[in-house]
Amino acid sequence: MRNKNDGRAKKLNRGGFQKRTFITSWLFAVPALILMYLFIWRPTVMGFVWSLFKMKGYSPTYFIGIKNYVEVMKDTQFIPLFINTLEYVFWSLVVGFLPPVLLAVVVNEMVHFKQKIMTLLYLPAIIPAIAVSLLWKQMYDPTEIGLLNMILVKFGMSPYQWLNDAHFTILWIVVSMTWKSFPGTMLLYYSALQGVNQELYEAATIDGAGILKRAWYVTRPQIMGVLILNFVRQIIGVFQVMEQPLAMTGGGPDGASASLGYQLYKYGFVTQRVGHAMALGTIIFVVLIFMTIFYFKLNRKLEESL
């Protein structure tokens, strides 16, 4: 009798203890979860919900269905802005995708001043992004006081318009963005290269593979995962470009460098078309979610093939 009671008391006590452990354990995660709800999950859902409402200032008034979307898409600027945004992505892949990979591979092979070179190359990553944009705006100055025109003039050429050349404004902005971001990406690839199986190089060399063949058949497959990840991350990041046109060109000349993200900023905070801003935000979100799904599909395929 006595023993039985003892056992029950122990069990009860244990249950209470477990419950307390359960609650106190969750308490550690609660601040993060509350903040995540307030600043990430809720605004993402509400951005979609409110995009279906007529907004008065920053308050939703009544449901209007997809009217905001229709108005955003019908805007004569929408197609050019979409094309501009794709142009940002295109140039960023042309200018910014391969150089960090190649640099990482080359730095990895160096036996002279390896650490010093890495440190020198890392410099742009340390400067605040907004300062980089403003610095490059000065370097692109269309008169001879800008660094790039200074160099052109030194070599006997005439000063060039840089950011004022509507055909290539986006390219020049992308060049400045790449200058800022490539060291970080390079480090990422560099650390991926540390994991490459060195024996495979030996085996390939014995089989008579040249340097390029080794790079293609040994190095490439082993860093493919990071390559694809960065490829997709870069597209997703650049698709949302906004600060750079805001700081460097104000979307100009004549809208040539305005992106969807920049338009969202203008809808939301300059022209006070808040409903349109959220509809545009949802459109960008959907496009990027498709990109992300595409990435996971691609990644799975890659994992299967390995």
Overall size of the chain counted in residues: 306
Binding another protein (rule: CB under 8 A), the pick from 85, 177, 265, 266 is 265
Residues in contact with another protein, shown as a per-residue x/- string from 189 to 228 under the rule CB under 8 A = --xx-xx--x--xx--x-----x--xx--xx------x--
- Eight-state DSSP code of residue 40: I
Binding another protein (rule: CB under 8 A), the pick from 135, 166, 228, 302 is 135
CB of 56 to another protein, least distance (A): 9
Amino acid at 14: R
Structure tokens at 162: 């840089």
- Touching another protein, residues 63-82 (CB under 8 A): none
Q: Which is nearer to another protein, 174 or 277 (CB)?
A: 277
The stretch among 6-14, 74-82, 88-96, 275-283 that binds another protein (CB under 8 A) is: 275-283
Q: Which is nearer to another protein, 71 or 243 (CB)?
A: 243
CA-nearest of 254, 277, 255, 275 to 266 is 277
CB of 284 to another protein, least distance (A): 6
- Touching another protein, residues 235-264 (CB under 8 A): 236, 240, 242-243, 247, 261, 264
117 binds another protein (CB under 8 A): yes
- Touching another protein, residues 21-40 (CB under 8 A): 21-22, 24-26, 28-29, 31-33, 35-36, 38-40
Binding another protein (rule: CB under 8 A), the pick from 66, 184, 270, 271 is 184
Count of residues near another protein by CB under 8 A: 101
Q: Which is nearer to another protein, 46 or 157 (CB)?
A: 46
271 binds another protein (CB under 8 A): no
16 binds another protein (CB under 8 A): no
Cα 248 → chain centroid: 19
Max intra-chain CA distance, the chain: 105
- Separation CA 292–CA 262 (nearest Å): 22
Sign of the Cα torsion 249, 255, 260, 266 reads positive
Binding another protein (rule: CB under 8 A), the pick from 126, 158, 208, 254 is 126
268, 274, 280, 285: CA torsion to nearest 10: 80
- Separation CA 178–CA 182 (nearest Å): 6
Structure tokens at 217: 């058949």
CB of 68 to another protein, least distance (A): 12
Structure tokens at 129: 């992004």
108 binds another protein (CB under 8 A): yes
Q: Which is nearer to another protein, 8 or 14 (CB)?
A: 14
CB of 45 to another protein, least distance (A): 9
